Every structure is written in structure tokens, then in C-alpha cells.
A and B are shown apart, each in its own frame.
Chain A
Amino acid sequence: MKRRTLLLSALALLLVLGGSIGETIAYFSTYAEAKGGYTIELGDSTEIREEFSNWTKRVSIASDANSEPVFIRVKAFCGSRYTLSYTDATGRWSLGGDGWYYYSEIVEGGGATGELQVHIDNVPSTVTDGDSFNVVVIYESTPVRYREDGSAYADWSSVLDSGSSDEGGAA
């Protein structure tokens, strides 16, 4: 009887002590999460295509297939012996106040501008063997930029790709 009483008392004390250990309060809580993003793809590569015949350069700028959309502008130079004039059969080239011809359409990757014809004027009626000419065509591309409303524009202070053809020839 004595041993049983002591055992029960000890057990009760153990339960009391055990029950008081680590008494904290639990709270209802939960959480949710999500993540995502996009890869920025920038950069392009363009090249000039030219054909020359009858004192006329036919110029077009092509963009590589993986290039981002760009705007294009072109300008040609020659020596003082000749003058240049331009013909646009596409209706998409326009002369800017700075002497550049701007292509109005966005050139997508893999696309190309329409043809711009650069005529070499004041060609002598009699050309002697050994006469030469030198016409340089320069083009620049800039990535299409977007306003907050999604409309596109060109920022020509940030030229992405530029090139020139320094083509000379002999009559």
C-alpha cells in the first residue's frame, strides 16, 4: 500500500512537471508564394546589300534571323566631282533634316528594308578609261524602343549596329 501510494504520487508529480514544460501558444498562420520572370533578348546583326549598275547603287539593309527588331537609317557620300540623288520605290524611305534617309518600318529579325536607289549624277558624257568614282554608303540600326503605352520609337542616340560600304570603281 505504501509503495503504491508513493508510486502514484511520484507519477502525478512527474505528469505535473512534464505538463509544464514548453508551454507556449500556437497561432494560426499560412502563406502562399509565386515567382516568375522573362529573359531579356537584346542585340542584332545587320548587313548591307548593294547592287551597282548604270551609275546607280541599289541599297538594302538586311537583319539576321535572330536579331531583335530595329530601325534603320542610311546616308551616302561621294567626292565633290559627283552629286548624289535618291529614289525610293517603296515609299518607306524619308529624308530627315540631318541628311539621313530613315526607313519608316520596323525591320524584324530575318527581314530587310526595301530598296533605296542612290544615283551618281553629273557623270561625264565621255568617260575615259581610268576615271574612278568613290561612293560610301553608311547605315545605322537602333533597337526598337517602346513607350509605356507600347508604341514604338527610335532612339538614335543609342546606335546598336552600324556599317559602311566603301565601294569604289573605275569606269
Chain B
Amino acid sequence: MAKFKKIVRSPACTAVLFILAAVLLLSSSIAGTRAALTYYSETYTSRVEMYDIGVSLVENGAKVSWRDYGSKADGSWNENTGVLLGNMLAPGEAFKLGKRYDEVLSVTNSGTIDEYVRVTVYRYWLDAQGNKMTELSPDQIGLHYVNLDDCWIVDEASSTPERMVLYYDRILPSGESTLPFTDSLTIDGGLAAKVSETTTVRDGYTVITTDYDYDGVQFRLEAEVHAVQTHNAEDAIWSAWGRHVTIDDGRIVGIE
């Protein structure tokens, strides 16, 4: 015991302990930095690494919404949330049931790093008060999807009549755009046949008036675009989107 005390009290032991403490301190500061990067989100990370991620939703060739990490690398984002279908009708033009309207939706990588993207599209009905009308079928809102057999993969497990989830199966390089995932919108003209009738007599005339079930309701489209880095893509997608994907040679080949 006395020998142990002597060793502990020796200058050599003190020096060893100091060196050990310095090593531990140094290594712990590295781990702390990594934890800080995690804790403070990619904003801090991108500021350090100088990588700017960005993504834009494009409708009929025009950017509608985007969110790009700011070029000043000060933690700010260059972002805009636009309106879908805003230019579908010419000024004074009335919306026509059954008519096919152009609705070409695609995604542009507006950042400086490559990325994977996925889109989620919602379609539904609102009443005059803005409440969702789940009793009306989303199928009447005919958004026509394209390139599903080419580069867009349907996440069948996550899709419903109201929601469609699509994964772009390849890396989207910086500055480039995907092929469109939709090309047109047609509201079913058969809505005009969904009616209820009332009969009245006015001034000696018998009038049968038909009221539309869909009169005054609003159809809505929502499109969300998500992008994630390509480095450690499978883990990144799992972390950011909550989905396990299988990537082979840069292509998403499976969604679990």
C-alpha cells in the first residue's frame, strides 16, 4: 500500500496522468464537435463544410417553390412557397369540368451538391368553409402521372387514393431537373351528373331544378418535394425520410 502511495505521489505519475488527461480531453473535444454538429442540425454542418443543398418544385417550366441553403453560409435559407395551379386559367377564363389542363410537375436541384429526391402529392376536396370533405372521392381529381416506369418509383406502401409518394430512382445532379412526374390535370366531367332534383311551380310553370352535389366545393392539390444528400445515402434517407431504401450503383432499386 505504501509502495502504491509512493508511486501515485511521484512526479512521473503526475506527468502520466496529465498526458492521459490531455489525450482524453482532446479526444472528447472531437466527439463533442461531432455531437454538436448533430445537435445543431445540418445548418451548422453545411456552414462548416460549405455544401449548399437546395431543391425546387417546377410547374409548367416555372419554379413555384424552393428552399436552398443560403450562399452566404450564415445559416439562412433562400426559400419561397408558391401556389400550385395559379396560372392554369387565363384571366377571365372559367374552369371547365372535363377539360385537360397542362400540369407538368418536375423537380430541379437548385443546390450545389447532388441529391436524391422524392415527392408527395395530395389531392382532396374542401367545402366552402375550408374543411376537408373525405366523403368525396379524390379519384375525381385526375392528376395524370408520367414516367413511372422510367425514373419515378411509386412507394405503394405509403400511397393512398389521396396521397401519392414517388421516389426519383437516380441521383439528381446539381443544377439539373428530373423528368416530369405529372403532365396534366382533368377534373372528372361526370361530377355534373351527381345531382339532386327539386320540383317547383312558378307562375303556372313547372320547373324541375337540379342541384349539383359538387357545386361550391374546391379541389386541392399539394406537392411536397424532399431532397437529401447522396453521401451515405441509405442512412441519410432513413434518417431524413424514415424509409429504408436499397441503392445499387447509385440507383434506388427498392423501398422497404
Contacts and interface: CB of A to CB of B under 8 A. Distances in A.
Is B a genuine binding partner of A?
yes
A29 B226 contact: yes
Contacts of B59: 34
A30 B215 contact: no
Interface of A: 1-2, 5, 8-9, 11-13, 15-16, 18-43, 45, 47-48, 68-69, 143-150, 155, 157-167
B28 A160 contact: no
B57 A32 contact: yes
B152 interface: no
B204 A166 contact: yes
Given A40-B215, A160-B210, A32 B55 contact: yes
Contact of A33 (B20, B38, B99, B222): B222
21 contacts: A15-B29, A19-B30, A23-B31, A24-B38, A27-B232, A28-B46, A30-B68, A30-B227, A31-B67, A32-B56, A32-B66, A33-B224, A37-B85, A38-B85, A38-B89, A40-B216, A42-B192, A42-B212, A47-B207, A160-B192, A165-B205
Interface string B39-73: 10110011000010111110100001111110000
Contact of A35 (B18, B55, B84): B84
A12 B227 CA distance: 40
Contacts of A146: 96-99, 189
Contacts of B229: 27-29
Q: How large is the interface on B (under 10, 10 to 19, 20 to 34, 35 or more residues)?
A: 35 or more
B95 A40 contact: yes
Contact of A28 (B51, B215, B223): B51
A36 B85 contact: yes
B100 interface: yes
A28 B223 CA distance: 21
Given A23-B35, A158-B193, A9 B186 contact: no
Given A5-B14, A31-B226, A40-B218, A147 B99 contact: yes
Chain B: interface secondary structure? mixed
B187 interface: yes
B220 A35 contact: yes
Contacts of B100: 148-150
A150 to B, nearest CB: 5
B45 A31 contact: no
B138 interface: no
Given A5-B17, A29-B240, A149-B100, 15 more contacts: A5-B14, A30-B53, A32-B57, A32-B67, A34-B59, A34-B84, A39-B217, A40-B216, A40-B217, A43-B212, A146-B99, A147-B98, A149-B99, A160-B195, A161-B209
A19 B226 contact: no
Nearest to B190: A158
A29 B231 CA distance: 11
B153 interface: no
Contacts of A38: 85, 88-89, 95, 218-219
B145 interface: no
A36 B220 contact: yes
Contacts of A2: 9
